[in-house]
């Protein structure tokens, strides 16, 4: 189950709740009973390794493998 972060719009209190995907989001602050909203964070994408895009989904040079045209 994921952990969601919430913030109150009145007192700016941050709190976390462990919820299922199909549960409704929390709408009230547990501290002041104000309106709470779910805080969304961007997730970084990290590409590691040299030549990530050149080695994936690419056929090798046919002459290197000996599959080229023979004269």
Architecture, CATH, for domain 1-42: Single Sheet (2.20)
Summarize pLDDT for 19-68 with one digit per residue, the tens: 998 999 999 999 999 999 999 988 888 777 665 565 555 565 555 555 55
Cα distances from 28 to residues 22, 37, 38, in angstroms, run 18, 8, 11
Q: Tokens 């462990």 label which residue?
A: 18
The pLDDT value given to residue 36: 96
The pLDDT value given to residue 47: 72
Q: Tokens 């030549």 label which residue?
A: 51
The pLDDT value given to residue 66: 53
Q: Which residues of 51-71 are buried (b: 16+ CB within 10 A; e: fewer)?
A: eeeeeeeeeeeeeeeeeeeee
Q: Which two tokens stand for residue 25?
A: 């989001």
The pLDDT value given to residue 51: 59
- Is pTM beyond 0.75 here? no
């Amino acid at each position: 189950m994921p952990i969601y972060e919430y913030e109150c719009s009145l007192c700016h209190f941050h709190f976390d709740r462990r919820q299922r995907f199909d549960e409704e989001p929390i709408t009230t602050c547990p501290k002041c009973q104000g309106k709470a909203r779910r805080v969304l964070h961007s997730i970084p994408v990290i590409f590691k390794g040299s030549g990530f895009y050149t080695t994936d989904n690419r056929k090798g040079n046919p002459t290197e493998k000996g599959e080229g045209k023979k004269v």
